[in-house]
């Protein structure tokens, strides 16, 4: 057993000063006041009174460390993305493949299978954002890659052997029975890049759709007579919505209205990060287009947003500043809520006995000092 001592531990009841977290075989064994941990601990690590938070979980991360999953759907790319985002507190992630050919999707799933088998730190599965989307709401996606969600596609989407497969679709481009088939096969289905009506989204939710990918962006808006995708997302109490809180994708006012309309525990922070995160470079290629980071925004030649230059630690800081919420609420949007969304709420996202020891240590400015995945520290990596 090893003990992380002298920490301010964030629990569901707030920050508890002068506490120790005991880790055994990759899981949290005990959370107790300093000096109350017994005599079986063989390692002690003094955290010097810093804040210990549950590790962040990012379900939408396209790249990092100079690599993009689409450009090289390999185990090494997944490993690089994980290592790059771990520096910013992300201890669980879904490498995200945006719309591409079926052969590339198959390669990405094969890479995720291999990486999961190899135990790549933090890897929880894969997110396939498209290509089953609506061209009207294409965003930065290549319309030429879009295709129907048919039986052949279903077979590909269900090839992940372990971990979670998340798929972003436009529900109006398929049928509720296909959504039900995917959900019954263990796939997490989310709506995004969609121009669906309220009724179409309701039918999708009834069929098992449980999420909304980057709420407000690339989806039909809430209007006076047609509630659209946004209206359906905010009305439904059981679905989750991802939000890119970078100050560029969505107005803070709009986000504050959203969390006033629906329980905060159904919102999760996502980065939609591109290769520039955790990398000194500021230019990269995305689907044949030149993308540049300008004033903290990833933009194409015509000025369109193309993913983000956001990391999870920054997203948490932004949520506190922009959404007028407290530390616990913002951190849970980055940890507990995405864990629940993925069905991992019983073992990830909180600092409690029995949970996996996925943790992040930060200073008072919420700058990351260290991370642990399954009890292993990465401060020296």
| Euclidean distance between CA atoms 80 and 69, whole angstroms | 10
Give domain status of residue 314, yes or no.
yes
| Euclidean distance between CA atoms 162 and 164, whole angstroms | 7
| Euclidean distance between CA atoms 34 and 52, whole angstroms | 14
Give domain status of residue 119, yes or no.
yes
Give domain status of residue 346, yes or no.
no
Q: Convert the pLDDT of each residue in 310-354 to its tens digit.
A: 999 999 999 999 999 999 999 999 999 999 999 999 999 999 999
166/30 same-domain check:
no
309/360 same-domain check:
no
Give domain status of residue 273, yes or no.
yes
- The pLDDT, as a whole number, for residue 83 is 97
- Is the pLDDT at 380 greater than 80, yes or no? no
248/365 same-domain check:
no
Tokens of 119: 């135990």
Domain residues for the domain of 143 are: 56-341
177/237 same-domain check:
yes
Q: How many domains does the chain have?
A: 2
84/96 same-domain check:
yes
CA 105 to chain centre: 19
* Count of helices and strands (H, E) across the chain: 10, 21
- Which domain CATH number covers 39? 2.30.40.10
- The pLDDT, as a whole number, for residue 337 is 98
143/11 same-domain check:
no
- The pLDDT, as a whole number, for residue 35 is 86
Q: Is 272 a catalytic residue?
A: yes
176/155 same-domain check:
yes
262/296 same-domain check:
yes
* DSSP letters for 40-58: ---EEEE-TT-EEEEPEEE
> Looking at the whole model, is its pTM more than 0.95?
yes
Give domain status of residue 164, yes or no.
yes
25/106 same-domain check:
no
Q: Convert the pLDDT of each residue in 198-249 to its tens digit.
A: 999 999 999 999 999 999 999 999 999 999 999 999 999 999 999 999 999 9
176/191 same-domain check:
yes
User: Quick one: 276 exposed, middle or buried, by C-beta within 10 A (0-12, 13-18, 19+)?
Assistant: buried
Q: Convert the pLDDT of each residue in 48-101 to its tens digit.
A: 999 999 999 999 999 999 999 999 999 999 999 999 999 999 999 999 999 999
Query: Helix 228-235 and helix 198-206: axis angle, to 10°?
Result: 40
- The pLDDT, as a whole number, for residue 59 is 98
37/67 same-domain check:
no
- Which domain CATH number covers 263? 3.20.20.140
Q: Label residue 65 left, alpha or beta by phi (over 0 means left) and psi (-120 to 50 means alpha).
A: left
- Is the pLDDT at 381 greater than 50, yes or no? no
- The pLDDT, as a whole number, for residue 219 is 98
| Euclidean distance between CA atoms 61 and 308, whole angstroms | 9
Give domain status of residue 209, yes or no.
yes
Q: Convert the pLDDT of each residue in 26-37 to its tens digit.
A: 999 999 999 888
Name the catalytic one among 246, 272, 311, 370. Answer: 272
User: For 324, which DSSP code?
Assistant: -
47/194 same-domain check:
no
Count of C-beta atoms within a 10 Å radius of residue 75: 18
Helices (H), the chain: 75-86, 102-118, 151-157, 176-184, 198-206, 228-235, 252-261, 312-323, 327-334, 336-341
Give domain status of residue 109, yes or no.
yes
């Amino acid at each position: 057993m090893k003990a992380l001592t002298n920490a301010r531990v964030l629990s569901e009841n707030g920050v508890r000063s002068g506490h120790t977290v005991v880790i055994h075989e990759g899981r949290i064994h005990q959370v107790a006041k300093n000096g109350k941990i017994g005599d079986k601990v063989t390692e002690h690590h003094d955290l010097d009174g810093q804040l210990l938070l549950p590790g962040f979980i990012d379900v939408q991360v396209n790249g990092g460390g100079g690599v993009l999953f689409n450009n090289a759907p390999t185990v090494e790319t997944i490993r690089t993305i994980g290592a790059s985002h771990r520096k910013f507190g992300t201890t669980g992630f879904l490498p995200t493949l945006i719309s591409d050919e079926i052969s590339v999707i198959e390669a990405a799933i094969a890479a995720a299978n291999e990486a999961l088998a190899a135990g790549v730190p933090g890897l929880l599965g894969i997110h396939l954002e498209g290509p089953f989307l609506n061209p009207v709401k294409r965003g930065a996606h290549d319309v030429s890659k879009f295709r129907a969600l048919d039986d052949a596609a279903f077979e590909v989407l269900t090839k992940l052997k372990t971990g979670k497969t998340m798929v972003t679709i436009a529900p109006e481009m398929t049928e509720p029975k296909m959504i039900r088939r995917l959900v019954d096969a263990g796939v997490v289905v989310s709506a995004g890049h969609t121009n669906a009506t309220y009724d179409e989204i309701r039918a999708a939710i009834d069929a098992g759709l449980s999420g909304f990918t980057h709420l407000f962006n690339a989806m039909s808006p809430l209007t006076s007579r047609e509630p659209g995708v946004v209206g359906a997302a905010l009305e439904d109490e059981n679905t989750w919505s991802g939000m890119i809180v970078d100050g560029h994708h969505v107005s803070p006012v709009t986000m504050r209205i959203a969390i006033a309309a629906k329980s905060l525990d159904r919102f999760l922070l996502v980065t939609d990060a591109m290769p520039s995160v955790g990398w000194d470079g500021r230019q990269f290629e995305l689907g044949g287009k030149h993308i540049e980071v300008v004033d903290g925004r990833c933009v194409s030649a015509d000025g369109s947003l193309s993913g983000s230059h956001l990391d999870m630690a920054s997203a948490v800081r932004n949520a506190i500043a922009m959404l007028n919420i407290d530390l616990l609420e913002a951190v849970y949007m980055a940890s507990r809520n995405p864990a629940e969304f993925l069905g991992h709420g019983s073992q990830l996202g909180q600092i409690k006995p029995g949970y996996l020891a996925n943790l992040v240590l930060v200073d008072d400015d919420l700058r990351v000092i260290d991370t642990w995945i399954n009890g292993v520290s990465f401060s020296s990596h």
